Amino acid sequence: MISKLLKRNFPMKFALKLIAAHALFFCDTAVWAHVALDEPVALAGANYKAVLRVSHGCQGSPTIGITVRIPPGFQGAKPQPKPGWVLTIDGGEITWTASSRENALPDAFFDEFVLRGGLPKDAQPLWFKVLQTCETGRNDWSQIPTQGVATKGLKFPAVLLEIIPSGPAGQGGHQH
């Protein structure tokens, strides 16, 4: 009986959680979206495709490089190549470098840099630190709040991926 109830209630609870997480994210960072994830919320333990959106350069200067530091717990990271960009993987870092000046990303445009991997079973937030290199200057999106996940007030926030429990079975594993 209880398990039936749980099963019936779960999808609604889950949906509400997702909506709440989304609302939080968009309210908090929409105005300040510098480098952002297409899907900023994901389920613990799932495979995840991180689509990092870069929507401007460095004070007008075009972007010529993006380096993503793979967050601990993000397993088997695999980048998607981009035409016109050279891909290098070095330790815990993935870098896309524009192969010529013509391939640089102008400040007025946006583009996406994609990698995939497995998410940890823990419903802890993951932070992707992203170094944006431009023809002139660079933006190191690497600041993490000392508490919680609100990035308001940070000038160069790292990119947040909120991870929510994958369900009652998952929650069972998190009794502290």
Q: How far is the CB of 35 from Cu ion (least distance, A)?
A: 8
Minimal CA–CA distance to 107: which of 144, 60, 53, 72?
Answer: 60
Q: Which is nearer to Cu ion, 145 or 170 (CB)?
A: 145
Q: Which is nearer to Cu ion, 36 or 163 (CB)?
A: 36
Q: Which is nearer to Cu ion, 34 or 129 (CB)?
A: 34
Q: Which is nearer to Cu ion, 61 or 166 (CB)?
A: 61
Pairing of β 63-69 and β 93-98: antiparallel
# of chain residues touching Cu ion (CB under 5 A):
1
- Stretch of 31-39, 42-50, 74-82, 120-128 contacting Cu ion, by CB under 5 A: 31-39
Question: What whole-number distance in Å separates Cα of residue 23 and Cα of residue 112?
Answer: 22
Question: What whole-number distance in Å separates Cα of residue 93 and Cα of residue 66?
Answer: 10
CA of 159: how far to CAs of 38, 141, 145, 171, in Å?
A: 11, 7, 11, 25
Count CB-CB contacts under 10 A for residue 146.
5
* Structure-block tokens of residue 157: 């926030």
CB 85 within 8 A of CB 98: yes
**Site for Cu ion contains 34 (CB under 5 A):** yes
Q: How far is the CB of 127 from Cu ion (least distance, A)?
A: 17
Q: How far is the CB of 33 from Cu ion (least distance, A)?
A: 6
Q: How far is the CB of 55 from Cu ion (least distance, A)?
A: 6
Q: How far is the CB of 34 from Cu ion (least distance, A)?
A: 3
Binding mask 119-148 for Cu ion (x = CB under 5 A): ------------------------------
- 176 three-class SS: coil
Q: Running DSSP on this structure, what letter comes out for residue 101?
A: G
Q: Which is nearer to Cu ion, 10 or 110 (CB)?
A: 110
Residue ranges binding Cu ion (CB under 5 A): 34
